[in-house]
Amino acid sequence: MSWKIVEVKSDKVTMQGHLRGLEIQFPNKIKEAASISVDGKTLKVESWVADDRDDIVHVMLADAGAKEKSDDKPSEGSNTN
């Protein structure tokens, strides 16, 4: 999966960031928050780590897309014989 350039917004600060799956990186110009806006969609933050070496923030977003619950039963390939 490749990185996608996105618009990150929190409070009144807007900047470009790089998104790959649920991982997003952007310059350390935004204060830590419980949620951020990514391309106009507000997403919850699972973890927030500032890397002082490069002045970059590494954020893991909460998986809001996991709406189905698993019943731990295979949906295909089950053989009862």
SS (H, E, C) 39-79: CCEEEEEEEEEEECCCCEEEEEECCCCCCCCCCCCCCCCCC
DSSP 33: -
State percent of the chain over pLDDT 70. 78
- Containing 4, the helix (H) or strand (E) segment is strand 4-10
Mean pLDDT over 6-32 rounds to: 95
CA-nearest of 60, 39, 38 to 49 is: 60
Note the pTM of the prediction, 2 decimals.
Answer: 0.73
Instruction: Assign domain 4-61 to its CATH architecture.
Output: Beta Barrel (2.40)
Q: What is the pLDDT of residue 1?
A: 77
Amino acid at 46: E
